[in-house]
Amino acid sequence: MKRVLGLCLLGLALSCAGCIAAATIALPGPILLACGILGLIAAGGLTYSLIHLAVDVHAMTKTLRSEHPILDSVRCSALKPLTAALQECLDKTNKPLLEARREIQDLGLQLQLLRRRKSGIEAILNSIHDAVLVCDDQDRLILANPAAEKLLGFESEKAALKPLKDNLSDNSLADLIIRARSSKVRHVRHELSLNRSGSAAWYDCLLSTVLDDSGQVISVVAVLHDITREKEISQAKNDFVSHVSHELKTPLASINAYAEMLVDGEAQDEAAIRQFCEIIQGQAQRLNRLIEDILNISRIESGLMKVNRQNLSLALIIRDAVEMIQSYAQEKNITLTAPAPILCDQVYADRDMMMQVVVNLLSNAVKYTPAGGSVSVQFEMNDVDGTITVSVTDTGIGIPEQDMDKLFGKFFRVEANKNFAKGTGLGLNLVRQIVETVHNGRVFVRSKQGQGSTFGFVLPIASSKTALIA
């Protein structure tokens, strides 16, 4: 390239000299023509060199603007030292840039992975039924699932990174979390009572402290498991055992006392001995009824009760039950009436269980009705709803309004009526278990103190499909 440029410049110089000489000295025409041709050739060569140089400069510029510039394609020898120096500078500059770009790509992948993990953790937390809270080392809320938001009454987005006590209306949980963070105990369990929908609810609160390698607290995780139902069951079991113990002690104490009196010879004549034996027999029968009722209720609640369902007439069951209770009613001078049997009142039920239901309702009605009163049984068919309603109405002492909701509970007896008649408080609970749990029916009661009561139940009418479904 240097030689070409030199020759071009030499040609131009000769052409210029010829032109000057022609202007001052008269030269022959051929010489002038030769000088002109030589000048044109020199000008063309110079133009070609300049164009070639411009192309290489343009290519270099384009290459430098690319993402990975490589300057080895330059053909101009005059530019090769420059391109080599530029390429060396670019290589030194590109190496840290490439490393930084790879690090950025790695960080992007790690960020995507962290986002997926975060989404997965949030999905898991949101699917947990228990309330979950996560607080940082400054007792600020950083994470909570929907169960915690619903229970404690806040929104995670608004409560995030705010002090826990500012978000909770009840500070008992916040105090537990603060104490767990301060003590750095890895796991601790508490029973916590919180207000839920206006009533007290119990929660098993598990607090876990997360520590770093240096032993500093990173966060505290609180999981609240609802144990209200377990508490209620436990309390119900305790009450049941207490009631059973009390009910068993009463007849056993009478049996034991009169047996001791017989053994000690306190009954001097046959009439006294007979009286003591009748008392012992009556208390033993009471004890047997109590045990049978407890066992029947337990079998029904546990699903172990054997049920022998068949199509039967409730009117016929009522007739048999009335005949069974009639003598008891006559002893108290109580009028007992029942409807005439019909043939279209079929239900798909266990006969012995339904007999026990009707007998219990009738015996209660006679028991709590003063002498000279009346007890009547009615039943009504509803073809639209496909149900049969049986009701037992008496003119007895009635039930206070505040006790109406508790009548079908275990061992419940109306305090105002305890002195009027004796009982175990299990009869109505057994009625409800048989009607509602076993036969998918419904029990009801209507009463006004001093004006009598109406106890009854509703059962579905038997159909051709009932037996097949059951």
> What's the confidence (pLDDT) of residue 233?
78
Q: In this structure, are residues 201 and 191 in contact, taking their beta carbons and an 8 Å threshold?
A: no
Q: Do 238 and 212 reside in the same domain of the chain?
A: no
Q: What is the pLDDT along the chain (470 residues), one digit of tens a residue?
A: 445 445 455 555 555 555 555 555 555 666 656 656 766 665 666 566 666 666 666 666 666 555 555 555 555 555 666 666 666 676 677 777 778 888 888 888 888 888 888 777 777 877 788 888 888 888 888 888 888 888 887 777 777 777 877 777 777 888 888 888 888 888 888 888 887 777 788 888 888 888 887 878 888 888 888 888 888 878 777 777 776 776 677 778 888 888 888 888 877 788 888 888 888 888 888 788 778 777 777 777 777 778 888 888 888 888 888 888 888 888 889 988 887 766 566 888 888 888 889 988 998 888 888 888 999 998 888 888 888 999 999 998 888 888 888 888 777 777 666 666 666 677 888 889 889 988 889 999 998 888 889 999 999 987 744 443 44
DSSP-assigned letter for residue 433 = I
DSSP-assigned letter for residue 385 = T
Q: Alpha carbon 8 to chain centroid distance?
A: 93
Six token digits for residue 28: 């022959």
Q: Do 254 and 355 reside in the same domain of the chain?
A: no
**C-alpha–C-alpha distance, residues 354 and 116, integer Å:** 61
Domain count, the chain: 4
Residue with tokens 């009450």: 239
Six token digits for residue 89: 């500078």
> What's the confidence (pLDDT) of residue 458?
92
Q: In this structure, are residues 132 and 146 in contact, taking their beta carbons and an 8 Å threshold?
A: no
Q: Do 396 and 464 reside in the same domain of the chain?
A: yes
| Residue 117 in domain | no
> What's the confidence (pLDDT) of residue 454?
92
Q: In this structure, are residues 207 and 190 in contact, taking their beta carbons and an 8 Å threshold?
A: yes
The vertex-444 CA angle with 401 and 238, nearest 5°, equals: 75
Q: Do 336 and 454 reside in the same domain of the chain?
A: yes
The last residue of one of the domains, among 162, 197, 226, is: 226
Q: In this structure, are residues 137 and 216 in contact, taking their beta carbons and an 8 Å threshold?
A: yes
CATH label of the domain that carries residue 377: 3.30.565.10
**C-alpha torsion 234→238→241→246, nearest 10:** -160
CATH label of the domain that carries residue 198: 3.30.450.20
**C-alpha–C-alpha distance, residues 175 and 20, integer Å:** 108
Q: Do 383 and 412 reside in the same domain of the chain?
A: yes
- Please classify residue 215 by burial: count the beta carbons closer than 10 Å to its beta carbon, then call 0-12 exposed, 13-18 middle and 19+ buried: exposed
Contacts for 85 with CB less than 8 Å, ≥ 6 apart: none
371: Cα within 13 Å, side-chain hemisphere:
4
| Residue 118 in domain | no
Where helices occur in 145-269 by DSSP H, the ranges are 146-152, 156-159, 164-167, 171-183, 228-263
Six token digits for residue 144: 């909570």
| Residue 280 in domain | yes
Six token digits for residue 171: 């500070």
Q: Do 276 and 182 reside in the same domain of the chain?
A: no
Six token digits for residue 326: 């009639």
Q: In this structure, are residues 411 and 243 in contact, taking their beta carbons and an 8 Å threshold?
A: yes
Overall pTM > 0.75? no
DSSP-assigned letter for residue 130 = S
| Residue 347 in domain | yes
| Residue 122 in domain | no
Domain that holds residue 191: 128-226
The last residue of one of the domains, among 226, 244, 268, is: 226
Q: In this structure, are residues 446 and 453 in contact, taking their beta carbons and an 8 Å threshold?
A: yes
Q: Do 80 and 137 reside in the same domain of the chain?
A: no
CATH label of the domain that carries residue 277: 1.10.287.130
The bridge status of strand 131-136 relative to strand 217-226 is: antiparallel
| Residue 209 in domain | yes
How many Cβ atoms are within 10 Å of 455's Cβ, its own excluded? 24
Q: Do 315 and 289 reside in the same domain of the chain?
A: no
Q: In this structure, are residues 392 and 407 in contact, taking their beta carbons and an 8 Å threshold?
A: no
Six token digits for residue 289: 């009824």
Q: Do 436 and 377 reside in the same domain of the chain?
A: yes
| Residue 451 in domain | yes
Q: Do 265 and 333 reside in the same domain of the chain?
A: no
Q: In this structure, are residues 429 and 373 in contact, taking their beta carbons and an 8 Å threshold?
A: no
| Residue 116 in domain | no
The last residue of one of the domains, among 200, 226, 252, is: 226
> What's the confidence (pLDDT) of residue 427?
80
Q: Alpha-carbon Rg of the chain, whole angstroms? A: 52
Give the per-residue SS3 of 225-256: EECHHHHHHHHHHHHHHHHHHHHHHHHHHHHH
Segment (H or E) for 455: strand 453-460
Q: Do 190 and 236 reside in the same domain of the chain?
A: no
Q: Do 237 and 335 reside in the same domain of the chain?
A: no
Residue with tokens 């500059």: 93
